[in-house]
Amino acid sequence: MRLANKIAVITGAGSGMGKAMAEIFSSEGAQVVLADISGKQNDVAAAINSGASANAVRAVPVHCDVSSEEDIQNMVATAEKEFGKLDILCNNAGFGGPMAPLHEQSLHVWNRVHDTNIKGAFLGMKYGIASMLKTGGGAIVNTTSASGVVGWKHHSVYGAAKAGVNSLTRAAALDYSDQNIRVNAVAPGTMWTGLVEASQTHAEPPADYPVLAGIPLGRWGLARDIAYAALYLASDEAAYVTGVTLPVDGGYCIGFSGMGAERPGIASVNKGET
């Protein structure tokens, strides 16, 4: 029960890493507001509530386009209305866009990727922090990407957005370090989530996938790998940790050697929301 008596808001909570965060956070005692644009957050909340006793954890779903200031304001207001405060904010919603060389990327893709990833994180922090300041502090966990830490071929647009979120994380950590608000980020590597699975012919993560050759631990990351890292950063166990971008990537970033070859499978992976 590492999050007992905590109120958490999680964006992108309808599937993948956000869903895993919702499930694990609630199992650790948090009450959760599940924000998503897809509608799938309703099913996640219903499943959490069905397993809760009358006096235990409950989940509240809310429709939220993270690029909408009005939706973000409503999301934070929902946490305050339903639970009285906001302790934890996970800015997890993201959009990858198509992979392509920079000169083939469109301004439309640039705007969509940046609206969801960096604008969404900015708005979430802006209104989440304002709420936390009223009640004595809190913890923010932003989901970024290994492609925002090191270069990924054909990832210029997405990588730029995620690198921007890493910078926002560091700056906000300094802005609020004396007001009991910690701001950290988790940077997933090559992940096997529902989005990826839907684009593949395999029901399970294939152990011989070519991209795994660049990952020292030799396997796909799973949604729960990210969720447990976020749990640590959100919990009081990380009370002395702020401004950190934590790669959860099987060692990819430390083992990165400027791989310039095509990486089979990635082009079909990073096309949708996470």
Task: Give the CATH number, domain containing residue 66.
Answer: 3.40.50.720
CA distance 6 to 238: 15
Angle at 63 between CA 58 and CA 69, to 5 degrees: 120
CA distance 118 to 131: 20
Range of the domain at 32: 7-268
Query: Quick one: pLDDT band at residue 260, thresholds 50, 70, 90?
Result: very low
Q: Enter the tokens of residue 172.
A: 């906000």
If one counts the domains in the chain, the total is 1
Per the CB < 8 A criterion, the answer to whether 183 and 176 are in contact is yes
Share in percent of the chain as helix, strand, coil (round to 5): 45, 15, 40
143-183: per-residue pLDDT in tens? 999 888 888 788 899 999 999 999 999 999 999 999 999 99
User: Among 70, 57, 56, which Cα is nearest to 22's?
Assistant: 57
Q: Which of 127, 158, 176, 209 is catalytic?
A: 158
Average pLDDT estimate for 95-99:
85
pLDDT higher than 50, residue 30? yes
Report yes or no on 273 lying in a domain.
no
Beta bridge partners of 181: 138
Segment (H or E) for 60: strand 59-63
158 carries an active-site annotation: yes
